[in-house]
Amino acid sequence: MSTDFDERLRAWLDDGDDVLPDLYLNAALEQVARLAQRNTRSAAVRRYLPMSGLARTVNSGARLVAAVAAVAIVAIAAAVALTTAGLPIGFLGSSPHFMPDDLESIVLSPFDPPDGATHTTTLRDVEALVDAVGADTATWRAVERSGYIDSRAEVFASSEFSLPDGAGRSVTSWAAVFGTSADASDALGIIRAWSEKWHPSLTSYARWGDGGISFEEMPSPWAPPDAADWGEAGLLWRYGNLLMYVHAWGDYDAGELELLAQGMQTGADQ
Amino acid sequence: MEPILVMRARRGDRDAFADIAAAIGDRLYAVAHRILRDRELAGDATQETLVKIWQELPTLREVDRFDAWSHRLLINACRDELRRQRRTPSTVHLLPHDDPVADASLTVADRDQLERGFRRLTADQRAVVILQYYLDYSLAEIATTLDLPIGTVRSRLHYAKRALRAALDADRRAAMPRRSSA
């Protein structure tokens, strides 16, 4: 709905220069004539093999031995930690496999919204992925490269807690299918790295499935100043080749978020 | 933007890039001018962006995302310009109020208050306002362009509009006593 304020803001923004002076266009083209484009092949290699100056001096054989040893140590440590953490029986051995058709029954149903909320939109594939990570970014491309197949998001909002300008309480239930469990694990790592940028309170989350991340910020750094009790929280976890994510923003309840996550896990188990 | 042009430029065709630069230069400059509120800074940011587009084009995987991608590079350049500007002595140039194309529904005071309110916004807040109100991008498109979660975009918009509204309201509050005492 357009308001008087919106109209005035648009009218104000319509004022201003619209033509790039030739001086700048010509200067840019002169620079381009002298500059080479980025070498994508070497850039890709750098992205995948970030090496320090010291690492470059080590021969490849030594790096291979070191990598194998590191993987073995991490695997043993993880097995010990998980065994002693009281995780569900069968956790280490189970690796369920999901198909894109399963997504609909995993995310929250549009017909069964969280208390006080109404369903606002269903997102599929790229749209849904964008809701979790920004599109056409290094993160987005990395997630797609990791064997991403399909995703679905159901978004709910509550008019009861909404503030003007669309900043309201919202809950997103998101799930994504990957080719293999290893792909999903890679994607989890990529999204985790991306999330660390936005959520300093990120911690490990291992209530269900094969581990994940959680965060809770109260109040949220993005909350409006007159809504000091607003927060933001999210749970992202991997289950076989599936990533599941539930995110709430606004005047939410942490216990409710866990229940929603439990609902998604139950959907996956059925 | 014609995908074929983008694909040619991505492969290193400078003539194709010159056509692209000529086609998008005005649009990029218009956005930069509205974010930076200064012709010289906007020209510099646009020039820098065009060069960056050329250099980074091989990394653009999907040519149909060229517009969003180029706007993201432009906004990064604007952010850098604002950062540089803050490190140098302030040279504020308010846009002229007697612009013949200015919308008649806006009072001089409105424009002045919006200008001052807008200048108080951060580069990131300015960007979301321009993308929504000048380019008519949806929240999802803004999120895509800026590599942000949609919730963050929504929140930045909320803050920015709130600040701009407050600037306009402040003007009204200041004007009311003058009217009543007249």
pLDDT at B122: 85
**Rounded mean pLDDT of A111-134?**
78
B129: exposed, middle or buried (Cβ count in 10 Å: 0-12, 13-18, 19+): buried
Assigned token pair, A31: 């620079």
Interface with chain B: mutation pick from A1, A4, A6, A8, highest number of B CBs within 10 Å: A8
CA B79-B84-B90 angle, to 5 degrees, is 110
Residues of A in contact with B56 (CB under 8 A): 37-38
pLDDT at B182: 27
Nearest by CB to residue B154, choosing from A18, A25, A166, is A166
CA A151, A157, B144, A192 torsion: positive or negative? negative
- When pLDDT is cut at 50, 70 and 90, the band that residue A103 belongs to is very high
CA distances from B38 to A8, A156, B94 (A): 21, 41, 8
Residues of B in contact with A16 (CB under 8 A): 30, 33-34, 95
Minimal Cα–Cα distance from A5 to chain B, Å?
A: 7
pLDDT at A7: 86
In angstroms, the first-to-last Cα distance of chain B is 56
Helices (H), chain A: 4-14, 22-34, 40-48, 53-57, 60-84, 103-106, 125-132, 138-145, 181-198, 254-269
**Rounded mean pLDDT of A52-57?**
33
B1: exposed, middle or buried (Cβ count in 10 Å: 0-12, 13-18, 19+): middle
pLDDT at B54: 93
**Rounded mean pLDDT of A4-25?**
89
pLDDT at B159: 85
Helix, coil or strand: residue B26: helix
Closest CA to B33 of B126, B105, B109: B126
Assigned token pair, B179: 């009217």
CB neighbourhood size of B62 (10 A): 13
- Torsion angle (degrees, nearest 10) of CA A191, A192, A198, A200: 180
**Rounded mean pLDDT of A179-187?**
91
pLDDT at A55: 33
Cross-strand pairs, A151: A176
Minimal Cα–Cα distance from B89 to chain A, Å?
A: 24
**A53 or B47, which is more confident?**
B47
> Of all helices (H) and strands (E), which one includes residue B95?
none
pLDDT at A26: 94
Q: Are B123 and B78 within 8 A, CB to CB? A: yes
pLDDT at A77: 54
Pick the range with the lowest mean pLDDT from A4-13, A160-169, B53-62, B107-116: A160-169
- Residue B98 in contact with partner chain A when CB distance is under 8 A: no
- Residue B165 in contact with partner chain A when CB distance is under 8 A: yes
Give pTM, 2 decimals.
0.49
Q: What is the mean pLDDT of each run of 10 residues along chain B (182 residues)?
A: 86 92 96 92 94 88 86 90 62 42 62 83 89 91 85 86 79 44 28
- When pLDDT is cut at 50, 70 and 90, the band that residue A115 belongs to is confident
Minimal Cα–Cα distance from B67 to chain A, Å?
A: 11
Q: Answer yes or no: is pLDDT of A136 > 70.
A: no
CA atoms within 13 A on the CB side of A23: 7
Closest CA to A91 of A81, A99, A101, A100: A81
Minimal Cα–Cα distance from B94 to chain A, Å?
A: 11
Nearest by CB to residue A28, choosing from B47, B57, B110, is B47
Tell me the pLDDT tens digit for each residue of A204-261.
888 877 789 998 877 666 566 666 667 778 899 999 999 999 988 777 777 788 889 9
CB neighbourhood size of B165 (10 A): 18
Closest CA to B76 of B38, B121, B28: B28
Q: Do the chains contact at B62 and A136, CB–CB below 8 Å? A: yes
Task: Provide the residue count of chain B.
Answer: 182
- Residue A269 in contact with partner chain B when CB distance is under 8 A: no
Asked if this assembly's ipTM is beyond 0.85, the reply is no
pLDDT at B51: 93
CA distances from A215 to A26, A187, A197, B58 (A): 49, 18, 12, 36
pLDDT at A221: 61
CA distances from A265 to A259, B13, B24 (A): 10, 51, 48
Touching B: A residues 200-229, CB under 8 Å: 220, 222-224
Q: Do the chains contact at B151 and A29, CB–CB below 8 Å? A: no
- When pLDDT is cut at 50, 70 and 90, the band that residue A135 belongs to is low
CB neighbourhood size of B71 (10 A): 25
pLDDT at A54: 32
Closest CA to A141 of A44, A36, A3: A44
Which distant-in-sequence residues (6+ apart) come within 8 Å of A164 by Cβ? none
